Structure 1
Amino acid sequence: MFRGIILVFLGACSFGILSTFVKLAYKEGFTLGDVTGTQVLFGLIFLWVMVLLRKLLGSKSNSTSFREKLQLAAMGTSTGLVSIFYYKCVQTVPASIAILLLMQFTWMSLLLDAVTKRKLPQASQVSMVALVLLGTCFAGRLFSDNLPAFDWSGIGYGLLAAMSYTIFLAVNGKAGNKMHPITKSAILLTGACVLIFTVFPPVFLINGALLHGLFKWGLVLSVFGTVLPPIFYAYGIPKTGLGLSAILSAAELPVAVLMSSIVLQEEVLPVQWFGVALILMAIVIANWTTIFKRTDKKAAAVPVAEIAH
């Protein structure tokens, strides 16, 4: 179980450092299309090579219909929207604020679930939502006189990213549940790649940007954003269970804020750390009861992307 805890924690940390790398890429003059395009393209290459290697090594895979694969690719477009909206948010607001906006998927998921099932949320869930919103207010300095200067449209992009991720979580479990996580991730990323290249044609392949620094950012973002986390979660979640994994995956939040402070030199006040602590507390409360339940069998069958971005 200890190895599972380490793997899930490392997967969350991988996601947490993405916003810092994106900011650094922007500082070098690369665009939103460059960043999102190279990440999905390089990630797609890595994942499909891994799928091919598994087949060459004789690994068994469950048969899946073409229709189900097509459904998965369509679902993957929602992850493409997450990348577009989140990285646009990172372009316009501090990285420490962008990750807070993305974390709003926690209460959005509960709200969507309540609407679709026509069932009022439990008291513990309402408490979690209240803590998340209160923590966001503190972490975003809304109760402070010195609000950071940024484009307020970034707030909208961040919330759209959280909404897109909420939709992805809602539909993700409807197809491909018998696939190997790497194969499923590859198909999902294929759909995301089609969407992103439709919105942002991959001009970086012909304008020389790859040879002028973009290659390294695409490599870093794909490894830490689309390759390592799915693998870590695939092997870690079945060992730890969904409840503990959800709590461990929340490490993404403090890692992102810490990286923005150390690497990007963004000002992070004590009140913001207090807000981060409230959000983490909300996630712990929401998942505390499931930690003590035997969820290993269910966890093994749950898609990696139920927790990953």
Structure 2
Amino acid sequence: MKYLLAVLFGAMSYGVLSTIVVLAYGKGYVLGEVVGSQLLTGCILAWGLAIFTKWRERRALRERERESSGQQPAIIAPAAGKLTWKQRLLLMAAGTPTAITGLLYYQSLRYIPASLAIILLFQFTWMGVLYQAVSQRKRPTGIMFLTLAVLLGGTLLAAGILGQGATKLNLMGIVLGILSAVSYSLFIVVSGKAVPSVHPAYRSVWMLTGGMLLVFILFPPYFLFNGLLWGDLLLFGFLLGLFGAFIPPVLFAVGVPHIGEGMAGILGAAELPVAVLLSSFILHEQVSLLQWGGVGLVLLGVALPELLKSRRRSSSAH
């Protein structure tokens, strides 16, 4: 149960980001300051976790050495924490799509409501299916086609296109939202293949470092020197770094190996209703019953493959 709750809370943490970003924009901060402060604080937290993990590994190694030799051993660094510079650079490169996702997603919030931006970001679900079909040269199953149809229908409802028409939607915001989904699906593919044998704490810290450096190159961190960081930006950056760059990767690393990727995908969908709820209650965005029905359909589409798979397993067991 604790592993299910870990993944659920990790997904819900992602859901609060859009609301925090809109509030930061309301205070006058710009894209580079918001994303830069998020990755800076997230990176500091991740380095703290990596150092703590390293310390625990050293202590465990010393205890094992003491038990085996019966005397006080010398301090030896564990091989698990050793990374070559090639591996570090690979992980840093793998972390750049998550920074690009943040830039595209947060910029889309300047043009479209947060409730719509998160729905567009959620299109990474069918994009992942499409990538898998193309890369493996394998035709999607009937279940996948049904899932994509449910997701598309849910998206049209949740975006409010059927209720108010597409003319009221900002094209730039729509394009940025879709591109953020493309970038996020790329991040999922790349991050899973980048040095998977290394401890998650070490993988995430170098990936975050790579993402932060990319953002700092695109948007030089003047906020570090002009005093902006010591205002509200520090609070917004800390909250975004905590809920976006630190808590979810740690909780997913703890929970996903125990509950499986299928169940993790279902629980990960909790991000969507949390984001829409906060947009409605905190940002006071109008979310109609039709749109809530679309959110429900999107969640059903995410869960459908795993639910049908579980049903087939239970039927074959009987």
If the length of structure 1 is used for normalisation, what is the TM-score? 0.90
Tell me how far apart the structure 2 counterparts of residues 213 and 293 of structure 1 sit (CA, whole Å): 52
Mean CA deviation greater in 5-14 or 282-291: 282-291
Q: Which residue of 2 aligns with 1:279?
A: 298
Describe the SS at the equivalent of 1:273.
Answer: helix
In structure 1, distance between residues paired with 2:255 and 2:5: 8
Question: Could you give the per-residue CA deviations for residues 38-74 of structure 1, whole angstroms, max 9, x where no partner exists?
Answer: 0001111110121112222326525433212211111
Structure 2 equivalent of residue 159 of structure 1: 178
When structure 1 is superposed on structure 2, of 141-150 and 131-140 the one drifting more is 141-150
Deviation at 1:292, TM superposition (A): 8.2
2:151 paired residue number: 132
Please say if 1:69 is aligned against 2:88.
yes
CA separation of 1:28 and 1:83: change in aligned 2, threshold 3 A: same
The answer to whether the 8 Å contact 2:124/2:181 transfers is: yes
- How far apart, in 2, do the equivalents of 1:228 and 1:199 lie? 25
Q: 2:111 maps to which residue?
A: 92
User: Given the alignment of the two structures, is residue 104 of structure 1 paired with residue 123 of structure 2, yes or no?
Assistant: yes
Aligned residues: 293
Paired residue for 2:243, among 219, 224, 230? 224
* Matched residue type, 1:88: Q
- 1:99-150 Cα offsets, whole Å, 9 max, x none, are 0000000111111121222221111111111111110000011111366955
Q: Within 5 Å, which residues of 2 pair with 1:117-128? A: 117-128=136-147
| Residues 132 and 120 of structure 1, relative CA distance in 2, 3 Å threshold | same
Matches within 5 A, 1:1-309: 2-57=1-56, 58=58, 60=78, 61=80, 63-145=82-164, 149=168, 151-288=170-307
Alignment CA distance shift 1:293-1:66 (3 Å): farther
In structure 1, C-alpha distance between the alignment counterparts of 2:245 and 2:19, rounded to whole Å? 16
SS for the counterpart of 1:119 is coil
- The one-letter amino acid paired with 2:248 is P
Identity %: 40
1:209-254 per-position Cα deviation (integer Å, ceiling 9, x unaligned):
1122101000110011111111211112122222111101100000
Cα offset, 1:293, TM superposition? 11
Displacement of 1:173 after TM fit?
A: 2.1
Q: TM-score, normalised by structure 2?
A: 0.88
Q: Distance in 2 between matches of 1:197 and 1:148?
A: 36
1:178 Cα offset (Å): 1.2
Relative to 1, partners in 2 of residues 1:15 and 1:293: Cα closer, same or farther, differing over 3 Å? Answer: farther
State the superposition RMSD in angstroms.
1.9
Distance 1:43 1:195, change over 3 A: same
CA contact (8 A) 1:64 1:176 kept: no
Q: Aligned-pair distance for 1:290? A: 5.5
293 and 198 in structure 1: CA distance in 2 versus 1, 3 angstrom threshold: farther
CA distance in structure 2 between the aligned counterparts of 1:256 and 1:49, rounded to whole angstroms: 28
Cα distance 1:6–1:293, how it changes in 2: closer, same or farther (>3 A)?
Answer: farther
The question of whether the paired residues in 2 share the 8 Å contact of 1:176 and 1:184 is answered with yes
2:71 is matched with which residue?
A: none
Could you tell me which runs of 5 or more consecutive residues in structure 2 were left unpaired when the two chains were aligned: 61-77, 314-318
In structure 2, do the counterparts of structure 1 residues 220 and 291 end up closer, same or farther at CA, with 3 Å as the change threshold? farther
Structure number with bigger Rg: 2
3-state SS of 1:173 partner: helix
